[in-house]
Amino acid sequence: PKLEFLLTETRGRVGLVTLHRPKALNALCNGLFIELNQVLKDFDDNQDIGAIVITGSERAFAAGADIKEMKDRNFIENYRENFLGDWTKLTQIRKPVIAAVNGFALGGGCELAMMCDIIYAGDKAVFGQPEIKLGILPGAGGTQRLVKAVGKSKAMEMCLTGSVNLTAEEAARAGLVSKVFSPDQVVDEAVKTAEQIANLSQPIVQMIKDAINQSFEIPLSSGLTFERRLFHAAFASKDQKEGMGAFAEKRKANFTHN
Ligand code: HXC
C-alpha cells in the first residue's frame, strides 16, 4: 500500500525510513504512526535487513505530536483508545534502530528519537520538551528517558520550562547524542554505522541490544546475570566459532547470522 507520511528505501542491509510530512514539520499524527509501526515491523521481519535508520528532513526530525489533531481530545477518549499506546511499538523492534536527527526534535519528536538505540545529529539539531507550554506534559517517555540520558537537572529544566532546548553539541556532551555531523552527512553516517552493525552476527547483535535495554529495567545484579546467560549462549552460535576462528587465523570473519 502507498505510504502517505513516510518514504522508505533499503540501502544494502539497512532499512531507511524518512518521516515525510513537510508542511507540518513532520508533526506526528496518528496516520504517521500507523505507517511507521507497519514499516518498522516489515523491516524487523525481513532477514535481508540488519539495522534500521529513522530520519526526517533537514528542517525537522519531528516538531512533536500533532497539536491540531490532539487539541479537542478528552480524557475518556484518551483512556478508551489508550492514546499514545501505539507509540512505544518502536521499542519492541529487535533490530538496532538509529535516529538521524536534523532540525527540530521537539516534544514527541525528541521522545521518538530517544526510543531509538543510537542518536546521530546534525549540528543544527534542537532537542526539547516544550509540552508544558501547551498545558500538557511529555507523554511518550520524555520525563523518563530524558532523565536517564541527560540527568535530572537538565531534564527538569527542559521539561519544566519548555523553553530550554539542547543544541546538538550540548546533547552530545550530555550523552543523549553519540555523534554530531554536518546536516547533509547525518543520514549517510547513520546508514554507514547501521550497515556496519548489520554485517555483524545478527543474533549476537540482538542479544547485546536486549542486554543493554535490560539495564534500564532491572537491578545491576540481575542485569549481570542476564548478560552472563546470553554470553554463555553466544557460544552455541556458529558466528562465535567463526569470529574467534577468524581472529586466530588472522583473516576477516564471515558471519552467517547463525
Ligand atoms: C501540528 C505543527 C506542529 C505540531 C509545527 N506545525 N509543529 N502542526 N503539530 N507539533 C505546523 C505549523 O502549525 C505550521 O503549519 C507548519 O508546521 C510550520 O510551522 P511554523 O510554526 O510556521 O514554523 P516555525 O515558525 O519555523 O516554527 C517552528 C517550531 C514551531 C518552533 C518548531 O512550529 C513550534 O513551536 N511547533 C510546536 C512544537 C511543540 O510544541 N511540540 C510539542 C508538541 S506536543 P501552517 O499550517 O501554519 O503552515 C507533543 C506531546 C507529546 O509532542 C506527547 C506524547 C507524544
181: β partners: 122
Q: Which residues contact 94 (CB under 8 A, 6 or more apart)?
A: 44, 206, 209, 210
Tell me the CA–centroid distance for residue 141 and ligand 1, in Å.
19
Strands 14-19 and 6-11: antiparallel
Q: How far apart are CA 101 and CA 119, in angstroms?
A: 7
Nearest CA to ligand 1 atom 24: 25
Tell me the CA–centroid distance for residue 127 and ligand 1, in Å.
14
Pick the CATH number of 6-198 from 3.20.20.30, 3.40.190.10, 3.20.20.70, 3.90.226.10: 3.90.226.10
Residues comprising the chain, all counted:
258
Q: Which pLDDT score, from 0 to 100, does residue 171 have?
A: 98
Tell me the CA–centroid distance for residue 176 and ligand 1, in Å.
22
14-19, strands of its sheet edge to edge: 6-11, 14-19, 51-55, 97-101, 118-122, 179-181
Catalytic: 65? yes
Q: Which pLDDT score, from 0 to 100, does residue 19 have?
A: 98
Q: Of 31, 140, 128, nearest to 85 (Cα)?
A: 140
Q: Which pLDDT score, from 0 to 100, does residue 1 have?
A: 72
Per CATH, 6-198 and 202-248 having the same topology is answered: no
Domain parsing of the chain, residue ranges: 6-198, 202-248
Q: How far apart are CA 191 and CA 24, in angstroms?
A: 25
Which stretches in the chain have pLDDT values below 50? none
Nearest CA to ligand 1 atom 22: 24
In 12-103, where do the E strands start and end? 14-19, 51-55, 60-62, 97-101
C-alpha cell at 116: 531509538
Q: How far apart are CA 36 and CA 38, in angstroms?
A: 5
Nearest CA to ligand 1 atom 14: 24
Catalytic: 81? no
- pTM passes above 0.95: yes
pLDDT tens track for 143-174: 999 999 999 999 999 999 999 999 999 999 99
Catalytic: 227? no
pLDDT tens track for 5-44: 999 999 999 999 999 999 999 999 999 999 999 999 999 9
- Which atom of ligand 1 is the closest one to the Cα of 109? 52
Q: Name the CATH topology of 202-248.
A: Lyase 2-enoyl-coa Hydratase; Chain  A, domain 2 (1.10.12)
CB-defined site of ligand 1, < 6 Å? 24-25, 27, 63-68, 84, 87, 104, 106-108, 111, 130-131, 134, 138-140
Output Rg (C-alpha) for the chain, integer angstroms.
19
- Which atom of ligand 1 is the closest one to the Cα of 139? 54
* CB-based contact 107:63 (threshold 8 Å): yes
Q: What does residue 65 show for φ and ψ, rounded to 5 degrees?
A: -60, 155
Q: What does residue 63 show for φ and ψ, rounded to 5 degrees?
A: -85, 20
Q: How far apart are CA 14 and CA 188, in angstroms?
A: 11
Catalytic: 9? no
Pick the catalytic residue from 108, 128, 142, 162.
Answer: 108
